């Protein structure tokens, strides 16, 4: 039997993919791709799109489609055999792509193509692909002299070790702390399910009482609910000194500050080698924001708008804490606690209550109906007779047709949590839209895009022997809309070249626009009415409950926004003109940022940078601002829908404009151009501030 991972004629054959097929398929594809690259490298003819770019794209597509199926299965149907096969092949795949990004002969060919007469005749999408390739080669150090390149690669290797060490230290520090409590009286206020978990953790260690740790599910409820102030202070102190010189279990080899200083120095050195003046510029070279100054201005402007609101949030919290909780000197370890009490007093409703109004069938129906009327498409579930192969009985499969009845996209929907599935929610591409030329008959056809939409919601429960539908919390509904937004970006693209089709080639700080955009509809009364139906009474969501949800949404939004801005500004400044050896320390810089931005100054012993993994061990260095940046884009894009509503209903003309200028174009042109084409101007902050209740008009 042939290997199903090597059949690219249609949808993946999930029912036929067995673990034994994985390694042979990957070996075959890697071998085939290496042979092709070798042939291309040695081809003396002038590089053209047809003899050079297209064959490389085709070969890489086969590899990524096959490997995509394997890594998808590894994420949603994990088991020991599959994990072993995955881990065995992962380094080989990583190695292949690393070689590709360092391949000087390919770089040379891209340069030749860029300077050839053909380049001027390419479509704009293809021009952008060539330019993106050249940019990525340069950022990978391809243009450096032999000596400089050696140093550049050394730095990259060292940085990757330091980041990994940063994470290890943080994890070790988190795990090293255990707090055992024997006296139940000391745990007043903490919810029963949290106490039960704490008790079980103690029992498994043969101890009595309750065990608390610095992991979120233990730490967070303790900070929010424990009436015992000393207990909160104790665990807060432990949490904010993790992986620092102040850690209670003082282990100097676990201090992340020397690592931070090293990372900053090496990033700076690598940036200079590449011809930039700092790492922030390197980071922004692939993003929508054009300069560090633009990002700094953006953040400061947002902070100025949010500050009065944040001050009001804090004033209210202080008054409440003094009057109702007898906390007249609100400390860092009181904030979550007092906030939770204030929230309870103001907006008395539970997630459980809201959940009864969101049965799965009604939510999906409502979401599909919304995008159908917005974008003039039709979404239908594939009938069972079609025997679409999936990886689990709970997975559903859908077709999307356009107004003239043409099939334009398909997606798998895998909603429920199960032990074999990785946590979180995500969209991934199974097949990407592109035009495929058939050389034999000189004709071409469009390859239909296919997406995986994966969530981790609770599955339907069987009550009294008849199945009830799955019920979603409002937060889960928002997650579903978010991922569906990514899905539509992938599926409704009109681009015909793979590298910039759908979400491919879209700037990092703009890629969340279509997903966050969709979230807005979950706060739209006209939309929610149509997608809610109480699981027992059949009633749609009452307006009074919706109003409470809306108020709770913006609870302390001013303080939250300032906190995000504080992190983002610190991240940007530390990668701009900061030199760890020049006298000012990382903590000094953070102090300055806080003095300028924050309404709450944390205590002196707070070592926040030592656990800021996003920027020291993740991909967010000089990019943390992206969260707020993309929120501004999505809110501002959404505001055009608000402005053009007809009798409270969505406007299909605005919908088709959104498809045409944002979703359809994918990464084929800069995100700013797409935004301006849709909105008629550059992004403005106003809509985001209004959606967060920070300004009213
Ligand atoms: Zn997202």
Going from the Cα of 421 to the center of ligand 1, the distance in angstroms, rounded, reads 18
Say how far apart CA 546 and CA 501 lie, in whole Å. Answer: 38
Q: How do beta strands 426-431 and 178-181 pair?
A: unpaired
pLDDT (0 to 100) of residue 32: 97
Mean pLDDT of the chain: 94
How many angstroms does the Cα of residue 334 sit away from the middle of ligand 1? Answer: 32
Which of left, alpha, beta for 464 (phi over 0: left; psi -120 to 50: alpha)? left
Model confidence band, residue 70 (pLDDT cutoffs 50, 70, 90):
very high
pLDDT at 432 over 80: yes
Query: Which residues are CB-neighbours of 467 under 8 A, at least 6 positions away?
Result: 460
C-alpha 280/C-alpha 247 separation (Å) is: 31
pLDDT for 442: 85
8 A C-beta contact, residue 203 and residue 180: no
Is residue 468 very low, low, confident or very high in pLDDT (cuts 50, 70, 90)? Answer: confident
State both tokens at 359: 């049965």
Q: How large is the average pLDDT for residues 66-91?
A: 95
- Above pLDDT 70, what percent of the chain? 98
Please say whether the beta carbons of 474 and 351 come within 8 A.
yes
Instruction: Note whether 507 and 671 are within 8 A (CB).
Output: yes
pLDDT, position 251? 57
Q: What is the pLDDT of residue 248?
A: 65
pLDDT band at 250 (very low <50, low <70, confident <90, very high): low
Check whether 283 has a pLDDT greater than 90. yes
Q: Which of 451, 516, 449, 448 is nearest to 662 (CA)?
A: 516
Query: What's the rounded mean pLDDT across residues 526-555?
Result: 92
**pLDDT digits 0-9 by tens, 109-118:** 999 999 999 9
**What tokens were used for 297?**
């201005």
272: which residues sit within 8 A by CB, 6+ positions away?
Answer: none
Residue 583 region, left (φ>0) first, then alpha (ψ -120 to 50), else beta? left
Largest interatomic CA distance in the chain: 82
Q: 454, 75 in Cβ contact below 8 A?
A: yes
Model pLDDT, residue 253:
80
Range 3-26 average pLDDT? 97
Write down the H helix ranges in 333-401.
335-346, 351-355, 360-375
Split at pLDDT 50, 70, 90, the class of 658 is very high
Q: What is the distance in A from the centroid of ligand 1 to the CA of 514?
A: 9
Distance 628 CA to ligand 1 centre (A): 13
Residue 7, pLDDT > 60, answer yes
Which residues neighbour ligand 1 (ion) by CB within 5 Å?
A: 515
Specify the pLDDT at position 663: 97
Ligand 1 center to 157 CA (angstroms): 29
Alpha-carbon span 261 to 89, nearest angstrom = 35
Distance CA 324, CA 378 (A): 54
Strands 450-457 and 407-416: parallel
Q: What is the mean pLDDT of residues 144-172?
A: 92
Cα separation, 217 vs 237, in Å, equals 17
Q: Who contacts 486 (Cβ-Cβ below 8 Å, separation ≥6)?
A: 426, 427, 503, 514, 515
Burial class (CB in 10 A: 0-12, 13-18, 19+), 237: middle
Q: Give the number of other CB atoms < 10 A from CB of residue 155.
A: 19
CA of 431 to the centre of ligand 1 (A): 19
Q: How far is the CA of 627 from the centre of ligand 1 (A)?
A: 10
Residue 191's pLDDT band (cuts 50, 70, 90)? confident
* Residue 84 confidence class, pLDDT cut points 50, 70, 90: very high
CA of 511 to the centre of ligand 1 (A): 8
Can you give the pLDDT at residue 557? 93
Q: How far apart are CA 503 and CA 258, in angstroms?
A: 38
Q: Which residues contact 68 (CB under 8 A, 6 or more apart)?
A: 428, 429, 430
Q: What is the three-class DSSP state of 97? A: helix
Distance 485 CA to ligand 1 centre (A): 8
pLDDT digits (tens, 9 = 90+) for 89-134: 999 998 899 889 889 999 999 999 999 999 999 999 999 999 999 9
- Banded model confidence at residue 465, pLDDT cuts 50, 70, 90: low
| CA of residue 512 to ligand 1 center, whole Å | 5
Q: Alpha-carbon distance 381 to 378, whole Å?
A: 10
The residue-averaged pLDDT of 146-152 equals 93
Report pLDDT for 351: 80
What's the 513 CA to ligand 1 centre distance in angstroms? 8
User: What pLDDT, on the 0 to 100 scale, is given for residue 383?
Assistant: 93
The whole-number average pLDDT for the span 592-610 is 96
Q: Running DSSP on this structure, what letter comes out for residue 442?
A: T
- Exposure string (b/e) for 513-528, b if CB count within 10 Å is 16 or more? bbbbbbbbbbbbeebb
Give pLDDT tens digits for 313-338: 999 999 999 999 999 999 999 999 99
| pLDDT attached to residue 1 | 65
* Residues recognised as catalytic: 483
User: What DSSP letter does each residue of 542-597 carry, written as one string?
Assistant: PHHHHHHHHHHHTTTHHHHHHHHHHHHHHHHHHTTT--TTSS--HHHHHHHHHHHH
What is residue 252's predicted lDDT score, i.e. its pLDDT?
63
CA distances from 141 to 109, 110, 114, 118, 147 (A): 16, 15, 19, 26, 11
Q: How far apart are CA 155 and CA 149, in angstroms?
A: 10
Q: How far apart are CA 208 and CA 204, in angstroms?
A: 10
How far does residue 509's CA lie from ligand 1's centre (Å)?
11
């Amino acid at each position: 039997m042939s290997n199903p991972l090597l059949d690219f004629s249609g949808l993946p054959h999930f029912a036929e993919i067995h673990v034994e097929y994985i390694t042979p398929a990957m070996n075959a594809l890697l071998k085939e791709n290496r042979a092709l690259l070798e042939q291309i490298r040695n081809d003396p003819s002038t590089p053209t799109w047809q003899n050079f770019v297209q064959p490389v794209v085709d070969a890489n597509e086969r590899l990524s489609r096959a490997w995509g199926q394997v890594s998808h299965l590894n994420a949603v149907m994990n088991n020991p055999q599959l994990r072993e096969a995955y881990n065995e092949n992962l380094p080989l795949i990583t190695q292949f792509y690393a070689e590709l990004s360092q391949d000087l002969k390919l770089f040379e060919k891209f340069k030749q193509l860029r300077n050839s007469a053909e380049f001027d005749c390419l479509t704009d999408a293809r021009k952008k692909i060539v330019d993106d390739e050249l940019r990525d080669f340069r950022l990978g150090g391809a243009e450096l002299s032999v000596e400089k390149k050696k140093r550049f690669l050394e730095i990259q290797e060292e940085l990757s070790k330091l980041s990994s060490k940063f994470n290890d230290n943080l994890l070790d520090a988190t795990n090293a702390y255990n707090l055992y409590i024997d006296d139940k009286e000391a745990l007043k206020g903490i919810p029963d399910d949290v106490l039960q978990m704490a008790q079980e953790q103690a029992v498994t260690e043969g101890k009595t009482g309750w065990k608390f740790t610095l992991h979120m599910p233990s730490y967070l409820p303790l900070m929010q609910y424990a009436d015992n102030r000393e207990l909160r202070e104790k665990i807060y102190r432990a949490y904010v000194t993790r992986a620092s010189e102040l850690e209670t279990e003082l282990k100097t080899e676990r201090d992340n500050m020397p690592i931070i200083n090293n990372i900053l120095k090496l990033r700076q050195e690598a940036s200079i080698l590449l011809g930039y003046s700092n790492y922030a510029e390197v980071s922004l070279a692939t993003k929508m924001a054009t300069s560090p100054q633009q990002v700094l201005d953006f953040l400061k402007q947002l902070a100025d708008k949010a500050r009065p609101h944040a001050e009001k949030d804090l004033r209210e919290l202080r008054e409440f804490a003094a009057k109702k909780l007898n906390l007249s000197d609100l400390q860092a370890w009181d904030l979550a606690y007092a906030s939770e009490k204030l929230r309870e007093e103001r907006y008395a409703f539970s997630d459980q209550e809201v959940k009864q109004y969101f049965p799965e069938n009604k939510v999906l129906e409502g979401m599909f109906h919304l995008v159908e009327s917005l974008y003039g498409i039709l979404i239908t579930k594939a009938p069972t007779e079609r025997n679409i192969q999936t990886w689990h009985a709970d997975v559903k499969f859908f077709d999307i047709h356009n107004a003239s009845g043409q099939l334009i996209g398909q997606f798998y929907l895998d909603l429920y949590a199960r032990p074999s599935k990785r946590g979180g929610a995500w969209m991934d591409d199974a097949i990407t839209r592109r035009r495929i030329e058939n050389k034999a008959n000189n004709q071409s056809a469009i390859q239909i895009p296919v997406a995986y939409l994966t969530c981790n919601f609770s599955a339907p429960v069987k009550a009294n022997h008849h199945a009830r539908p799955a019920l979603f919390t409002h937060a889960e509904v928002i997650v579903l809309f978010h991922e569906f937004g990514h899905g539509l970006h992938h599926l409704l693209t009109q681009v015909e070249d793979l590298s910039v089709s759908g979400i491919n080639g879209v700037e990092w700080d703009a890629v969340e626009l279509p997903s966050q955009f969709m979230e807005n509809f979950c706060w739209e009364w006209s939309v929610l009415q149509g997608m809610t139906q109480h699981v027992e009474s059949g009633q749609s969501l009452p307006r009074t409950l919706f109003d409470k949800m809306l108020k709770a949404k913006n609870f302390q939004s001013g303080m939250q926004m300032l906190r995000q801005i504080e992190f983002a500004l610190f991240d940007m400044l530390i990668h701009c003109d900061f030199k760890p050896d020049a006298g000012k320390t990382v903590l000094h810089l953070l102090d300055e940022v806080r003095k300028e931005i924050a309404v709450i100054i944390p205590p002196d012993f707070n070592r926040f940078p030592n656990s800021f993994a996003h920027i020291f061990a993740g991909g967010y260095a000089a990019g943390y601002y992206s969260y707020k940046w993309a929120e501004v884009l999505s809110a501002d894009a959404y505001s055009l829908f608000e402005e053009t509503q007809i009798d409270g209903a969505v406007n299909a003309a605005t919908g088709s404009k959104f498809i045409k200028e944002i979703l359809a174009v994918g990464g084929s042109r800069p995100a700013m151009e797409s935004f301006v084409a849709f909105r008629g101007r550059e992004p403005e902050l106003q809509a985001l501030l209004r959606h967060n209740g920070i300004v009213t008009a």
